[in-house]
Amino acid sequence: MREIQEFTLDELKHLFTPQAITGETMVLNMGPQHPSTHGVLRLILELDGEIVLNCVPDIGYLHTGIEKNMEAKTYQKAEVLTDRMDYMYTMGNNLVYCLAVEKLTELKSPARADAIRVILLELSRLQSHLLWIGTSALDLGAMSVFLYAMREREMILDIFELVSGQRMMTTYIRPGGLWRDVPAEFNDAVKQIVDIFPKRIDTYEALLTKNPLFMDRTKGIGKIDTKTALAWDVTGPTLRATGMAHDIRKANPYCGYEQYDFEIPTQTTGDIYGRYKVRVEEMRQSVRIVEQALNKLPFGPVRDNNPKFVPPPRSEIGVSMEALIHHFKLWTEGFTPPVGSVYSTIESPRGEMGLFLESDGSPKPYRVHYRTPSVPLLQIMPILSKGCFVADLIGIIGSIDIVLGDTDR
Amino acid sequence: MGLEQKLGNTGVVTTTLENAVNWSRTNSMWPMLFGLACCAIEMMAAQAANYDMSRFGMELMRASPRQSDLMIVAGRVSQKMAPVLRNLYDQMPDPKWVIAMGDCAACGGVYNNYAVLQGVDEIVPVDIYVAGCPPRPEGLINGVVALHNKIKSERFAKWK
């Protein structure tokens, strides 16, 4: 076990004002164990009384070595690790990996698989935003929103459990389609969510949107403009709250998002309240997309039938020699995509999530690198928090919706 | 049976000191509000309305280790986090208990690599291991009940 990393002020003096060295301002450590840092984030703050002068995020407390670990596993096994990265958007982590592998191998996901993927991705976005609205309102002192949001989140997790057998770490989306078709109860369960959710989102809005305490704590705090946000590579709701309508689902559609009718919500304020409004509107748009996808859910296969890459159905293994051979080859040595490198990208609830995948022609990826949206969001923390109160800092951390598993990998 | 019947309706219950102390320890346990990774989300779900851990007297999460007597290690512990976790454990007042929630905290889980501690029992003594990746909220509640049972059978000293 290593020692706790301790810094002297002398080593960090380039991050703070000269007054920190003389003791006129106070340097305070916040985290990694703190109820409002949403995981194991450590912030080193320089305070002048109650005012934050500087804020230096220290990441790496959840570094798991997922990218390196994936290089040691075959393509099928590596996918299991992707779930545990951004653990609030597990379906999306699977998808960005599958899109990359599909690009590399020219596998094609069938229309039914694409529609089911879209439904599950939007449900994932909903559950991520639900947890966000619950915890960030909790940070600002509104307890009841958390209990309501978690109640609805359980409904979505029940659907994940229905299709995949797991509540969070589903690994349901696979290269070339899905693991298996959805069970018969799926349509009714999703229909129930589509019916209930608009009313439930109204409930959250009734608790927060015009709540004077919430407005006082959020309006005009943690501001950022479009130019700065773009310079720091910020994407997602934080960018959209500054007025720029950028969404990968529109800019670079995947899984047939171009077929669905939805809007990109934007706000112009760029503050915490703007981000809140954008996310709430995104939840409504997600419900719209789920409804459309469910109404025109096509029938057909849910997996590409290329036996070199996609395992054959269980029923064929007993009767077909080829199927048995393919199954044996796939689960002993894995499949071998051609040499090359690809980049795939999707819109996660936090912004653009990308994956760079390099193959050297072996059954294991040569290099996996994720471009995760939480890292730029943490990089703008010093800009957002400059000059605010310590209490507002809590609201700012909640509003940018970081997931530390996503940051540190 | 014994004394109670002779005392009659005087409002007195007899028990052993051990039973009384262990009973109060199980029913006023304050877990530490300390989430690491994925399992922390399920720990929050266990606290919320659907699973409602307050049925077992566990609803009061304390953010400070000085006020808590149960540490639920919810998630993978990286090498950088490990000394911090030990520091937090050392700050908790006795008597204290640890639940290793999830496979990562129990044994490293799917991560057999340079970055993750292969089980949190390398640095702190663990009372209950909860399996699963992540465990369902029912799994965590089961672990908590198992811990309660363990505490109820604790002895203060070895009787000769």
Domain for residue A314, yes or no?
no
Inspect the interface and report whether the beta carbons of B111 and A2 lie closer than 8 Å.
no
Domain for residue A18, yes or no?
no
Per residue in A338-390, pLDDT tens? Answer: 999 999 999 999 889 999 999 998 889 999 999 989 899 888 988 888 888 88
Please, what sign has the CA dihedral across residues A405, A406, A407, A408? Answer: positive
**Which pLDDT band, with edges at 50, 70 and 90, does B26 fall under?**
confident
Domain for residue A385, yes or no?
no
At A127, list the tokens.
């559950």
Residue A27 to residues A7, A36, A124: CA-CA distances in angstroms? 12, 19, 39
Find the range with the poorest average confidence among A4-8, A108-112, B16-20: A4-8
Mutate which of B32, B33, B34, B38 to test chain A, going by most A C-beta atoms within 10 A? B38
Domain for residue A33, yes or no?
no
Q: Which domain range does residue A117 map to?
A: 66-304+336-371
Residue whose structure tokens are 């978690």:
A150
State whether residue B82 sits within 8 Å of chain A by CB.
yes
DSSP three-state, residue A55:
strand
CATH of the domain at A134: 1.10.645.10
Among the partner residues A32, A66, A84, nearest to B38 by beta-carbon distance:
A84
Domain count, chain A: 1
Residues of chain A with C-beta less than 8 angstroms from the C-beta of B45: 150, 153-154, 157
Average pLDDT over residues A8-15: 74
Residue B29 has pLDDT above 70, yes or no: yes
Q: Please enumerate in sequence order all residues whose Cβ is within 8 A of that of A370, keeping only pairs 6 or more positions apart, or say none.
A: A67, A85, A96, A353, A354, A355, A356, A409
Cβ–Cβ under 8 Å, residues A225 and A301? no
Domain for residue A5, yes or no?
no
DSSP three-state, residue A341:
strand
Inspect the interface and report whether the beta carbons of B79 and A2 lie closer than 8 Å.
yes
**DSSP character for A142?**
-
Count of pairs with CB atoms under 8 A, one residue in A, one in B:
110
Domain for residue A330, yes or no?
no
Inspect the interface and report whether the beta carbons of A35 and B63 lie closer than 8 Å.
yes
Inspect the interface and report whether the beta carbons of B82 and A146 lie closer than 8 Å.
no
User: Please, what is the average pLDDT of chain A?
Assistant: 87
The H or E element spanning position A315 is helix A314-317
**Which pLDDT band, with edges at 50, 70 and 90, does A115 fall under?**
very high
Per residue in B100-134, pLDDT tens? Answer: 998 888 888 888 888 888 889 889 999 999 998 88
- ipTM (interface pTM): 0.84
> What percent of chain A shows pLDDT beyond 90?
24
Domain for residue A382, yes or no?
no
Domain for residue A248, yes or no?
yes
The Cα–Cα gap between A59 and A36 comes to 15
Inspect the interface and report whether the beta carbons of B134 and A168 lie closer than 8 Å.
yes
- pLDDT confidence of residue A2: 59
Q: The whole model's pTM is what?
A: 0.89
The Cα–Cα gap between A300 and A297 comes to 10
Residues of chain B with C-beta less than 8 angstroms from the C-beta of A150: 44-45, 48-50
Inspect the interface and report whether the beta carbons of A405 and B133 lie closer than 8 Å.
no
DSSP three-state, residue A28:
strand
Residues of chain B with C-beta less than 8 angstroms from the C-beta of A87: 37-38, 41
- pLDDT confidence of residue A343: 92
CA angle B118, B124, B127 (to 5 degrees): 95
